[in-house]
Amino acid sequence: MKMSGRLPQKQSGLDLLAVHMAGLDPEAHRARERLEDAIGPDLATLLVAALGGRSNRAPLARPLAAAAA
């Protein structure tokens, strides 16, 4: 008898594998599209940029000490 509300590790692993395999279907919506549907395109763009280590902002100017060298 399972006492906790968690899935057994094997079932959880199988569920993750099924989600991954479904993502390989060329007819499936891409993760970015699903995110845009869930939170909107503007917020999705900001989130993807933040998670990807990129920013929509221009790079900061070099410090003056480095520019003089």
| Residue 55 CA neighbour count, 13 Å, CB half | 4
Q: What are the residue boundaries of the structural domains of the chain, listed by start?
A: 29-56
Look up the pTM and report it: 0.44
Mean pLDDT of 4-11: 73
The pLDDT tens digits for 32-52 are 898 999 999 999 999 988 888
Q: Looking at residue 1, what is its pLDDT?
A: 42
Instruction: Write a three-state SS string for 7-68.
Output: CCHHHHHHHHHHHHHHHCCCCCCCHHHHHHHHHCHHHHHHHHHHHCCCCCCCCCCCCHHHHH
26 pLDDT more than 50: yes
Name every residue whose Cβ is closer than 8 Å to that of residue 39 and which is 6 or more positions away in sequence.
Answer: 47
